[in-house]
C-alpha cells in the first residue's frame, strides 16, 4: 500500500530564512511519481513539481529546490530566503504506476513572518 508521511504539521520561520519541508513515502511499485503542491488560503492547489522514480536528479527552480533520495524514500522540499507569500500549506503526494491514484500527505502548514 502507498503512504506519504509529512511529519511536520506546522513550521514557523522569519522572512529570509531557509526552510525544508520533509516528505517520506512508502510504495511497493518500482515506477511511481512524486509531487509537491502548494495550497494558499484561497484553497486552490498549485502544482510545484513532479518527479518520477527513475530520475533522482535534484532540481532547483528559483528559490525552490527538491532533494529526491530513493535510498531513504524521501522527497524533501527547500525554500531558500523565504517570503511572506510562501505562507501556505504544502502537500507531498505519490502516484503509483499500478493504480494512477494520487495519495496526499497530511500537509505542512508554513508560516513566514515578516
Partner 1 sequence: GAVVSQHPSRVICKSGTSVKIECRSLDFQATTMFWYRQFPKQSLMLMATSNEGSKATYEQGVEKDKFLINHASLTLSTLTVTSAHPEDSSFYICSARKAVSSYEQYFGPGTRLTVT
Q: Which residues bind partner 1 (CB under 8 A)?
A: 33, 37, 42-45, 47, 50, 52, 91, 95, 100-107, 109
Identify the bridge partners of residue 32 per DSSP, sorted by sequence position: 96
Longest Cα–Cα distance in the chain:
44
Could you tell me the smallest distance in angstroms from the CB atom of residue 39 to partner 1?
9
Q: Which is nearer to partner 1, 61 or 101 (CB)?
A: 101
CA dist 72 and 90 (Å) reads 20
Could you tell me the smallest distance in angstroms from the CB atom of residue 81 to partner 1?
27
Q: Which is nearer to partner 1, 17 or 103 (CB)?
A: 103
Please, are residues 106 and 47 in contact by the beta-carbon 8 Å criterion?
Answer: no
Could you tell me the smallest distance in angstroms from the CB atom of residue 35 to partner 1?
8
Please, are residues 56 and 68 in contact by the beta-carbon 8 Å criterion?
Answer: yes
Amino acid at each position: 500500500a502507498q503512504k506519504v508521511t509529512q511529519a511536520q504539521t506546522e513550521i514557523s520561520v522569519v522572512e529570509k530564512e531557509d526552510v525544508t519541508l520533509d516528505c517520506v513515502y512508502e510504495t511497493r511499485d518500482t515506477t511511481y511519481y512524486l509531487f509537491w503542491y502548494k495550497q494558499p488560503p484561497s484553497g486552490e492547489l498549485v502544482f510545484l513539481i513532479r518527479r518520477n522514480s527513475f530520475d533522482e536528479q535534484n532540481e532547483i527552480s528559483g528559490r525552490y529546490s527538491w532533494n529526491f533520495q530513493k535510498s531513504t524514500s524521501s522527497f524533501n522540499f527547500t525554500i531558500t530566503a523565504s517570503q511572506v507569500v510562501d505562507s501556505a500549506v504544502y502537500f507531498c503526494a505519490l502516484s503509483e504506476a499500478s493504480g494512477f491514484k494520487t495519495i496526499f500527505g497530511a500537509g505542512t502548514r508554513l508560516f513566514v513572518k515578516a
